[in-house]
Structure 1
């Protein structure tokens, strides 16, 4: 009941504030109408109004399929855990074969949705900062909005920017103010992009509320996300330190069994740090359906899981012999089959694996790395890893990420890119790429064309 009330509160307020926001169908972020045009100077004049509009930003995560289905699924297609389903067509297959054209419709949907969220977060940040109040909630609201902005910028960077090269000029378009005109803005460098993301997360770490719900930003969520960003940035010491702080905080704990993650969903989870709410009765976001007919488990993933104790929790076989993603299919809530489901943005199991990789790369601390990895292995009732060879341990961590997080949000794709760039593997041994340019996606064609090429397309597209 509490979960449903929270969800309805977010979506209801999102609908109300949506009357003042721009259309999420806009593709070119440099050509968006001014956000909150109606009485813009009066929309946020007190803390209650700021809170209301912040709920609208959270609503961006749950409204539509972009964050819930499209981004996690097409990224899993790029990796090794999903394949196009029986209703999948050329648009889905392009991601599966890692050859996406700039006019692919999924690019438009994902790209515009993230900038839509950023735009609204910027409105909350800039207007709330102007409030003359001693209310401590002021800084918390700004911190939550900055976290959401940081997460969106990070997702944009790892999909569309050369996140693996801090010397690259191919970052993303950064937005820190509500869009007030249609002037095109060039892409920032990768280093500048990371700088803004980390600045926002540092603010959230200092000022966000303590953990109270998996549906809202907290200090521990900000630390967890910053540890992940630092891992991608190759700042392994920082990634390890922050991940250790999250693990030692005792605010979250692993579920007793791996299956509990996906049977509890949003009902009293112990392990989830940040996720989306859902209401199967009032919000049929169709994730279960989409992950059954448009995005199926890959043959490679099913074969990998067959020898793992997590197989039953991750893979289901129907009476007709069809394979299903058991994390998001066949589940019930109060005895009713689910059509909707959540998106897990951050869980504690991933933080253990971030720590295991980061401490090994930063300090070659085999014992600490192996110990963190084996916490996950033990929870899943699998044999413990015993190797003391760093290269073997790194590969074990990469594989464990697939076993633990596979067929969810495409984490294995980004791991393939990162490990490839570190020289640990050759990505073509896992996914045959026509060119290194296919390590990232092209920008949507409209964004480049409508900017008169002020926004430069990625190389090779």
Structure 2
């Protein structure tokens, strides 16, 4: 019943969002069409309308392949877990070789979709804030919309901004109001981007609903993402504190086995904090097909997993010997085989690993860090870590994240960048980069060209 209601609401509100935006040619630097002023003034006049439009913001996550396939796949190829599939060509290979040019069409797809979501989240936020009502749902709706805006801004910053340098001028374009004109806007600096993300997440932690469903934002999901953002800021004390609070809340539990994560999917998962829905009627998103035709498993990842107890749950072989990403392979809905699948934006296992890294870097607490990693290793049936060497343990945490989360969201790529910038590793020992500038992607061509010099391209592109 929940799924049926969700899809009905998303279907209706995706249509509504289409009414909110024009069908004119690209005019804004973020490639999002301006909102009609008349419609904008009339769409949200009460909480029920705000709720309806909020469903449409969630609908952007599952509309197309940008959030559920392209972003996790291309970042996994930039890292060490994926490579171009049998149908993959030059556009895909550019990510695998870490030499993406600004005309690569995947950049435009991802960039514009994230700003499209942000634009519609801004519509919900600004119009709901203006409502004169005592309905408690008002603040919850704003909290959910800010959570979604924060997540997209964080993804944009990681892909296109120098997220590892708080003093860098190369952040992203920040949008906090619905787009109503075509005036280009300069990039914010990295520190200001983090400030907005944190403000949004802090508001969501305070005001979003309590956790009740993996398909919607919640206080718990916002706190988990906030801990991850703090890790990227090198605010390790905050990252450790918030991650521990998420774990100790006992609102989510690790699945009994690693394989359960990828068989239960949307069927009463215990571990997932936030994910996309899918079914056999409204959302046949073709993810499983894309992850074998265009994006395959890397040789390095397959070799790494061979000695790990998670191997058979993560990797499958067809009768002809072809390799499949078993995490997203052969999913079903009500017993019907599908090529559609979910995207796990956050699950509890990652929060354990965030805590392990953060508590080690902040307090040098080897036992706490080791205990968190070993909780994950014990669940997967792997030998427990025994090292007491901080540097060995830090690297073991990074590798554990590949073993646990590999091919899901490209987290290992961002870890390589972070650890490289911290001086823990040399990224070229794992991926040989053409240049240090390839730690981030270029902005799409149109974004820079249409701004007439106001938006600066990333260095080296």
TM-score range, shorter chain: over 0.9
Give the match for residue 171 of structure 2. Answer: 171
- Matched with 2:120 is 120
Do the aligned partners of 1:25 and 1:112 also contact (CA within 8 Å) in 2?
no
Alignment check: 8 A CA contact 2:288 2:329 kept: yes
Counterparts of 1:45 and 1:170, CA distance in 2: 38
Report how far residue 22 of structure 1 moved: 4.6
Listed as ranges, the matches of 1:326-337 within 5 Å are 326-337=326-337
Matched, 1:105 2:133: no
TM-score normalised per structure 2: 0.98
Q: Secondary structure at the match of 1:274?
A: strand
Once the two structures are superposed, the pairs formed by residues 66-85 of structure 1 within 5 Å of their partners are: 66-85=66-85
Contact 2:147 2:204 in 1 (8 A): yes
Partner of 1:6: 6
> Deviations for 1:152-197, whole angstroms, at most 9, x for unmatched residues?
1000000000000001110000000111111111000000000000
Partner residue in 2 for 1:235: 235
**Runs of 4 or more consecutive aligned structure 1 residues displaced over 3 Å after TM superposition:** 22-33
- Going from structure 1 to structure 2, the CA distance change for 1:413 and 1:35 (only over 3 Å counts) comes to same
Mind listing any 5+ residue stretches in structure 1 that lack a counterpart?
A: none
Write the distance in 2 (CA, Å) between the matches of 1:363 and 1:24. 54
Residue 17 of structure 1, CA deviation: 3.1
Post-superposition offset of 1:28: 4.6
Question: 1:387-398 residue pairs with structure 2 within 5 A?
Answer: 387-398=387-398
Per the TM alignment, residue 71 of structure 1 is displaced from its structure 2 partner at its CA by 0.6
Structure 2 matches for 1:255-334, cutoff 5 A?
255-334=255-334
- Tell me the equivalent position of 2:221: 221
Number of aligned positions between the proteins: 461
Whole-angstrom CA distance in 2 between matches of 1:324 and 1:3: 28
Q: CA RMSD in A?
A: 1.4
Map residues 420-435 of structure 1 onto 2, 5 A cutoff. Answer: 420-435=420-435
Shift of 1:254: 0.4
Secondary structure of the 1:29 match is coil
Cα deviation for residue 283 of structure 1 reads 1.7
- Give the direction of change, closer, same or farther, for the CA distance of 1:259–1:25 in structure 2 (3 Å limit): farther
Alignment check: 8 A CA contact 1:27 1:446 kept: no
Q: Is the 8 A contact 1:359 1:365 kept in 2?
A: yes
Residue equivalent to 1:448: 448
Give 1:4 shift.
Answer: 4.0
Structure 2 CA distance for partners of 1:182 and 1:31, relative to 1, 3 Å: farther
2:274 alignment partner, SS class: strand
**C-alpha contact 1:75 1:95 (8 A) present in aligned 2:** yes
Q: Secondary structure at the match of 2:173?
A: coil
CA 1:5–1:48: 2 relative to 1, 3 Å? closer
Give the match for residue 50 of structure 1: 50
Compared CA separation, residues 25 and 200, structure 1 to 2 (3 A)? farther
Instruction: Tell me if structure 1 keeps the 8 A contact 2:30–2:111.
Output: no
TM-score where L is the length of structure 1? 0.98
Which region of structure 1 is more displaced relative to structure 2, 196-205 or 20-29?
A: 20-29
Contact kept, 8 Å, 1:54 with 1:121, in 2: the verdict is yes
Check whether the contact 1:81–1:297 (CA below 8 A) recurs between aligned residues: yes
Measured after TM superposition, the shift of residue 333 of structure 1 is 3.1
**Cα pair distance change 1:333/1:155, threshold 3 Å:** same
Query: Which residue of 2 is the match for residue 339 of structure 1?
Result: 339
- Whether the 8 Å CA contact 1:13–1:56 is kept in 2: the answer is yes
Against the structure 1 CA distance between its residues 4 and 327, is the aligned structure 2 distance closer, same or farther, given a 3 Å change threshold? farther
TM-superposed CA distance for 1:26, in Å, is 4.5
1:227 and 1:23 mapped to 2: Cα distance?
A: 39
- 1:11 to partner: Cα distance: 2.9
Evaluate the alpha carbon distance shift between residue 352 and residue 321 of structure 1 in structure 2; reply closer, same or farther with a 3 A threshold: same
Q: Secondary structure at the match of 1:39?
A: helix
Q: Which string of whole-angstrom CA distances, capped at 9 and with x for unpartnered residues, describes residues 372-395 of structure 1?
A: 000000000000000010000001
- 1:400 and 2:400 aligned: yes
Shift of 1:83: 0.4
Task: Look up the SS of the partner of 1:171 in the other structure.
Answer: coil
1:337 Cα deviation from its structure 2 partner = 1.7
User: What are the within-5 Å matches in structure 2 for residues 368-383 of structure 1?
Assistant: 368-383=368-383
Matches within 5 A, 1:149-168: 149-168=149-168
**CA shift for structure 1 position 41:** 1.2
* Contact 2:9-2:52 at 8 Å conserved across structures: no
Consecutive unaligned residues of structure 2, counting only runs of 5 or more, are none
- Structure 1 distance, partners of 2:11, 2:71, is 20
Question: 2: distance between equivalents of 1:345 and 1:143?
Answer: 18
* Post-superposition offset of 1:2: 3.5
Is the Cα–Cα contact under 8 Å of residues 26 and 112 in structure 1 kept in the other structure?
no
Do the aligned residues in 1 keep the contact of 2:30 with 2:115 (CA within 8 Å)? no
